[in-house]
Amino acid sequence: MLMHQEEIYDINRRIVEFENALFIDYSSKGMEETIGNAIKQVYAHLKIQDNTLPLAHHIGSQEVSRFFEILDAIVAEFTKCTMFSVYTGKFSEDLSRVNYLNTEPKLLAASISQLTHSETLRPAKQFVDSLASMLDILELTQIKRILTVLVVLYRLELFFYMSTLSSYLFLGMTIKMG
């Protein structure tokens, strides 16, 4: 049976792949615990010290190399999904519809855009921390799952991978705002 393009470019599949690769399990009591547990699981699985993952990418073991191969494959597919969404103008979730940040959509889009570029994402730590602190009040929707993956990637200092999610959110917001 042939799959339709919408099935091939299903962003939900890629989110699940990210969650699996990053050991994100939503059974914890709070989102900070969920995020913290995921980060601990990544380090334990890769057998590396905390805060050394970006360095481990260059001198890593087979587990580390495989981990980055998996992330690279997910990002490649996620990017295809993003471009399909841009092409069709259909984004499954629009961050500007989520009113939990009490921020105007254009300001929110500007903050998200900081997470898409290497020169502006490190100063965005406060924004990422505010995203993380607000996750507890959201129901477990696709947007909450995307933001959780984004925060985990940011805290692991895997900024390139995180920027793909930020780009999806940014493009979705800007296309919707017209």
One-character DSSP codes across 114-164: HTTSTTTSGGGHHHHHHHHHHGGGS-S-HHHHHHHHHHHHHHTT-HHHHHH
For residue 118, what are the domain limits?
5-177
Q: DSSP secondary-structure letter at 29?
A: S
> Between vectors from CA 76 to CA 40 and to CA 114, what angle results, nearest 5°?
70
For residues 143 and 22, the model is more confident at 22
Number of structural domains in the chain? 1
Q: Are the beta carbons of 95 and 177 closer than 8 angstroms? A: no
SS3 4: coil
pTM, two decimals, is 0.89
Q: Is 25 left (phi over 0), alpha (psi -120 to 50) or beta?
A: beta
pLDDT surpassing 80 at residue 121:
no
- The pLDDT of 9-15, averaged and rounded, is 90
For residues 170 and 74, the model is more confident at 74
Distance CA 168, CA 77 (A): 12
Q: How confident is the model at residue 62 (pLDDT cuts 50, 70, 90)?
A: confident
> Per mean pLDDT, which range of 39-48, 104-113, 124-133, 135-144 is the poorest?
104-113
Q: DSSP secondary-structure letter at 27?
A: T
Count the helix, strand and coil residues of the chain and give each as a percent rounded to the nearest 5: 75, 0, 25
In 47-67, which positions are buried (b, 16+ CB within 10 angstroms) versus exposed (e)?
A: ebeeeebeebeeebeeebeeb
- The pLDDT of 79-105, averaged and rounded, is 75
SS3 61: coil
Distance CA 81, CA 87 (A): 10
The 10 Å Cβ neighbour count of residue 132 is: 20
pLDDT surpassing 70 at residue 12:
yes
